[in-house]
Amino acid sequence: DWNHAWGAAPANLIPRKLMGIEPLEPGFKKIRIKPQPGNLKHAEIKHPTIRGAVKASFINRPNESFRLEVDIPVNTTAKVYLPFYSEKQIFHMDDRPISYKREGNFSVIENVGSGKHVFSVSR
């Protein structure tokens, strides 16, 4: 049998650490999406939750640009993190400039509503 708990345990690192999808409130009412791509150029995931699937995909050009597409389930909000490059960076949500706050090496958008959204940041 190839389905042993010890063999599957590392798989939970992909949604939680690489793609950064974690609940901030019980039942995934509020989630965090905080990708940590390093030098990885592309990844995508469909992560099941009690409220529906959270979908996320990114295209990463380290130290140049980062594009994140998300699909947030109904009745869910998200706190979305993108890389912080510089004070002069250009930051968009759904093709519109948007303000953000800085947390360490990340740009953060609070209270992103349900539905499909595209985030981009470039130097």
pLDDT in tens, 71-120: 999 999 999 999 988 888 889 999 999 989 999 999 999 999 999 999 99
Q: For the chain, what is the radius of gyration of the CA atoms?
A: 15
User: pTM higher than 0.85, yes or no?
Assistant: yes
Over the chain, what is the mean pLDDT? Answer: 91
**CATH architecture of the domain with residue range 5-122:** Sandwich (2.60)
What is the spatial distance between Cα 58 and Cα 61, in angstroms, rounded to a whole number?
Answer: 10
Would you say 85 and 39 are in contact if contact means Cβ atoms under 8 Å apart? no
